[in-house]
Structure 1
Amino acid sequence: MNSISVREFEGRRVLVTGGTKGAGAAMVHRFALAGARVATTARSAVCPDGVNCELYIPADVATPEGATNVGRTLTEQWDGVDVLIHNVGGSATPGGGFAVITDELWEQELNVNLLAAVRLDRLLLPLMIERGNGVVIHISSIQRRLPLPASTTAYAAAKAALTTYSKSLSKEVGPKGVRVLSVAPGWIYTSAAEGLVKRIADQGGVDEDAARQQILDSLGGIPIGRPAMPEEVADLVAFLASPRAASIHGTELVIDGGTIPTV
């Protein structure tokens, strides 16, 4: 039986931050197919067409005000959530190495990739602890182990902090019935990644296959020969949030096609 047809999240309340694009949208769809009540957030004023979200909360969770709005809305309307997926993340730092990363850029990267999760956990975890049940999944990145110094130093550092925070949180709340994990994707072939391939192809005067290979080479290669698809990341996250993964706690799962070359 296809696992997607099993409504193992029937009636469960799930929040996926940044759930309107890429892997986040795939997670929203995956949980909804399995019977969950799914809420998501993004900075857009309305939920985009094609995104299956029962409750959409427009907010920038990288700000204290946005996180507070999300926490308050979910507490008032759903009495909290059962599964909390911190998917929001990204980097806006330009290339140029450490010297171009201003204090403002450092703060921006930390707010998006670390503090958004910290603030929402602080708002929504107490209700999970009170019920003695819940799952929190932080979406980190393999760049915490394989940073690209030309452009992602601040992003990689923030994701490393997120993974460490996730581990510490797991030790605190695991005995209280809440499982905490992190997931570290490598290159995911989202619409944004596809756009990057097209830009590289146009700028370099090469075809898209050659452009994809350039990205693979910059990562040191991916042994399976391709990036992960958003749906594959969503399947992993859904498994980890399910009762089937009840003994998986306090660890990080990597989904990178073998990009990290060490054990």
Structure 2
Amino acid sequence: MTTAENGSEKGELAGKRALVTGGSRGIGAAVVRQLLDAGAEVLTTARSATGTTPEGAAFVAADVRTRDGAETLAAAVRDVLGGVDVLVHNVGGARPHRSGLDIPDEEWRDALDLNLLASVRVDALLAPGMRDRRTGAIVHVSTAATFPPSPPFLHYQAAKVALESYSRGLAVELAPAGVRVNAVSPGRTATPGGEATRKYWESLDIGPGPTDTPPLGRDGRPADIANAVLFLVSERAEWVTGQVIGVDGGEYPRG
């Protein structure tokens, strides 16, 4: 994909410093590429180096499920970027179970750490710098599949619903300083992690929820989500904050 094709040929993020968590594959890697194409300097992270980090991005290994990992990442942001103007939280995921009552305590804790508290911890370390500079954009990647409730994925859904509520609340707090906070909620997207989860779900013989093609006629692509993220962190969205934007091809219509 060329910069002309993805709409970032003007280098609209030139001079911006961006952090993308979970940027080594799938949606996160697509976001990294979009931000690089738009002219941003990008640092990304995953639990371990995989060799698939998009070319041009800096990488640090950090497990943001823990406070130590979040602090490692924040230190790398200061050392590599000197601060951050764009913060995209993409890490997430969980394993489905036959029943919501079957989900063990440790998986509830892991789902909350990965899908909610990782963002909370990193924001607490980096958003004050944005507030002090009175500029910045934060995007939390949620999921469109928060409703209807799905017992096999209650831990994941609960964490993502909490993430969306937290995102709206943080938007209220940071708006007076000119820092915008939004969330995107992808529907079924063709990523390695998503495909693996759907296959495992099917192996439980309980069905993976909606299986029909989304109304727009295909599964989502990582670039579809990255396009929405690019919009939200750009000046084109300077009047948008506190929103949760579904990017799902109409799969999960909201009333």
Scaled by the length of structure 2, the TM-score of the pair is 0.90
**Matching of residue 43 in structure 1 with residue 44 in structure 2:** no
1:34 aligns with 2:38: yes
Structure 2 distance, partners of 1:195, 1:153, is 18
Equivalent residue for 1:164? 165
Q: Which residue of 1 aligns with 2:215?
A: 223
Query: Among residues 216, 228, 237, which one is paired with 2:229 in the alignment?
Result: 237
Higher deviation after alignment, 158-167 or 189-198: 189-198
Deviations 1:47-78 (A, max 9, x none): 52462243211011111111110011212332
The Cα of 1:254 is off from its aligned counterpart by 0.3
Q: Secondary structure at the match of 2:108?
A: helix
Question: How many residue pairs align between the two structures?
Answer: 248
Please give the secondary structure, in 2, of the residue aligned with 1:95.
coil
1:223-245 C-alpha deviation (Å, 9 max, x unpaired):
12322100111011001100011
Q: What is the alpha-carbon distance in structure 1 between the residues aligned to residue 89 and residue 52 of structure 2?
A: 22
Q: Is the 1:32–1:52 contact (alpha carbons within 8 Å) kept by the matching residues of 2?
A: no
Which structure: larger Rg? 1
Secondary structure of 1:152's aligned partner:
helix
User: Is residue 143 of structure 1 aligned with residue 145 of structure 2?
Assistant: yes
State the alpha-carbon separation in 2 of the partners of residues 193 and 200 from structure 1: 11
Paired residues for 1:2-41 under 5 Å: 2=5, 3-41=7-45
Provide the secondary structure at the position in 1 that maps to 2:8. Answer: helix
DSSP-derived class of the 1:183 partner: strand
Distance 1:198 1:219, change over 3 A: closer
Q: Distance in 2 between matches of 1:190 and 1:89?
A: 13
Could you tell me whether the CA contact under 8 Å between 1:7 and 1:33 is conserved in 2? yes
CA apart distance, 1:171: 0.4
One of 52, 61, 64 as aligned partner of 1:61: 64
What amino acid does structure 1 have at the position aligned with 2:178?
Answer: G
> How far, CA to CA, are the matches of 1:60 and 1:37 in structure 2?
22
Tell me, which stretches of 5 or more residues in structure 1 are unaligned? Answer: 204-213
- Correspondence for 2:239: 247
CA distance in 2, matches of 1:104, 1:184: 25
Letter in 1 for 2:210: S
Equivalent position amino acid for 2:139 in 1: I
- Residue 117 of structure 1 corresponds to 119
Match 2:85 to one of 79, 82, 92: 82
Partner amino acid, structure 2, of 1:161:
A
Partner of 1:192: 193
TM-score, structure 1 as length reference: 0.87
Three-state SS of the structure 1 residue aligned to 2:111 is: helix
Tell me how large the CA RMSD over aligned residues is.
2.1
Secondary structure at the counterpart of residue 39 of structure 2 = coil
Distance 1:189 1:123, change over 3 A: same
Identify unmatched segments of 5+ residues in structure 2.
none
Give 1:146 shift.
Answer: 2.9
Instruction: Sort the Cα spacing of 1:55 and 1:222 in 2 relative to 1 into closer, same or farther, 3 A.
Output: same
| Preserved contact between residue 28 and residue 51 of structure 1 (Cα < 8 Å) | yes
Residue 229 of structure 2 aligns to a residue in which SS?
Answer: helix
Give 1:147 deviation, angstroms. Answer: 3.2
Percent of aligned positions that are identical: 40
Q: Does the CA-based 8 Å contact 2:145-2:252 persist in structure 1? A: no
Distance 1:123 1:262, change over 3 A: closer
The 1:152/1:175 distance shift into structure 2, 3 A limit, reads: same
Counterparts of 2:147 and 2:179 in 1: how far apart (Å)? Answer: 27
CA deviation map 1:119-141 (0-9, x unaligned): 00000001101100000000011
Distance in 1 (alpha carbons) for counterparts of 2:149 and 2:26: 22
Three-state SS of the structure 1 residue aligned to 2:240 is coil
Counterpart contact for 1:91–1:155, Cα < 8 Å:
yes
Matched residue type, 1:28: V
CA contact (8 A) 1:39 1:53 kept: no
| Code of the aligned partner of 2:106 | E
